[in-house]
Amino acid sequence: MTSQTDENNNNGGIVPPPDIPPRGLWENCIHSMWRTPLGLIGLATTTISIVLMLISLTIDMLGLVHNAYFAAFSYMILPGFMILGLLIIPFACYIHSRHWFKDSLGAELSDKALCIDLSNPRHKKYLVGFIALTVVNMSILTIIGYEGYQFTDSPYFCGQLCHKVMAPEYTAYLRSPHARVRCVECHIGPGVSWFVKAKISGLRQVVAVITGNYPRPIPTPVEHLRPARDTCEQCHWPDKFSGKKVLTFYSFTDKDQIHPQKEVIALHLGGRNPYTGKFEGIHWHVSKDVKVEYLALNRKRTKIGTVKVTLPNGVTEEFDSDQVPAKGQKGTWRTMDCLDCHNRPTHNFDRLDDRVDFGLMTKAIDPLIPGIRADSLTVLTKKYVSRDQAREQIVGALMDLQAKRNGDAFVKKNGAQIVKAGQFLLTSYLRNIWPSMKITWGTYKLQLGHRDADEGYGCWRCHDDEHKTKFGKVIPQDCDLCHDEPN
């Protein structure tokens, strides 16, 4: 700005009036929008994106199209183009004005050129136009931004847009008790900082998906998953008293596929007992009165070292075990929460035998067909290179096995029943197996209970009679601690 005063002082600020008044800088800018190719590109990009955005918004609001790609285009790609167009316009103006500075008297006017002179009716017109357009643009961007935010938080964005990667989780989710809970409520939870963290890690994941550089299967437990207190406990609360919960398990064997074996247990779920006010039973671990921490010796948390219990009066008890971390790994401390038992509250895949036994129980697989249980297990554990190959082969494979076992005449007579069983097996396969993600039976195991105790999953990680305090007190494995027979 010093140059201005210098200049003014030096030549008295006198500028000879030109014959044709030169275009002012503002006029020149507006001119550049219409008259230069770059300006036109900017203008066209903005206008076309806005029009398309308004059309898609209307289509979406009327519910005419329900498609993740359509939404991604409307709420992520079009706004990108609109902003690009809006950036091109001032850039075109700048390029154009460089000439203006050079080849007109503008050079001398330049210092005043950027002023907005409200007494000049053209300036006034442009200013009003500019403000009106900005308000319109900002409103459109806000609406689209909001819709975009809703969209990127929706299960069908998470589950479908990344369909190859998330399909297994999405499929299991859709049949779970949480099918109406949005992914973000467990994976992100409330609050701005987690939201920002999630969007940043989301961007990284998008890059990983595009480059194909991600682990298969997706490893679990999910590192840096938000503590359950901020997610699950938004809807559930540990104090809720559930008392006893009776569960019935049915199973068959290859020898007897007609009469189910029935196992009934009454789980001591507990909670805060309304009669005694004491926190008791299985949900005791997550009561606000106690804190249970443990040293996980491996990444999967299937080997557990020291377990530390802190009681409300500050007294702590330590249960030590002889287990040591695998070579090259060191333990990590973790405070026990819902996810140490309910690790698959929503992405719960079927167990192989459970699924076949369920088929027998519901007669989707006719138990009267000799050997059908064994053959079903064989068909389901066969390797198929893709889900498409399974679609083509499963029913036929069951027919072949049955023909070998019971003869062609039998298969001919009972064809309809065998095909029905085959179709049930195919659906079972498609619910659970994704060769492209290396997900097969038992890839993701449940911590709830002790059915995979051999591999270190479940309650018996701690309740093994071997985690001991100095005084010899153990974390007990008595069956009666957790369940008894209902009466």
| Closest CB to ligand HEC among residues 55, 479 | 479
CA triple 407-408-409, angle to 5 deg: 95
Q: How far is the CB of 56 from ligand HEC (least distance, A)?
A: 23
Least distance in Å: CB of 273 to ligand HEC? 10
Q: Which residues pair with 107 in a beta bridge?
A: none
- CB 35, CB 43: distance < 8 Å: no
Q: How far is the CB of 164 from ligand HEC (least distance, A)?
A: 12
- Give residue for tokens 């955005």: 53
Q: Which is nearer to ligand HEC, 30 or 232 (CB)?
A: 232
| Shortest distance in whole angstroms from residue 58 CB to ligand HEC | 27
Smallest distance from the beta carbon of 315 to ligand HEC, in angstroms?
11
Judged by beta carbon, residue 238 or residue 367, the one nearer ligand HEC is 238
* Nearer Cβ to ligand HEC (127/453): 453
Which is closer to ligand HEC, CB of 308 or CB of 420?
Answer: 308
Q: How far is the CB of 396 from ligand HEC (least distance, A)?
A: 31
CA distance linking residue 90 with residue 81, whole number of Å = 15
Smallest distance, ligand HEC to C-beta of residue 200, A: 17
- The rounded distance, in Å, linking the Cα atoms of 207 and 94 is 34
Residue type, 170: Y
Residue holding tokens 């800018």? 29
- Residue 377 or 453 having the CB closest to ligand HEC: 453
- 278 vs 391 by CB, closer to ligand HEC: 278
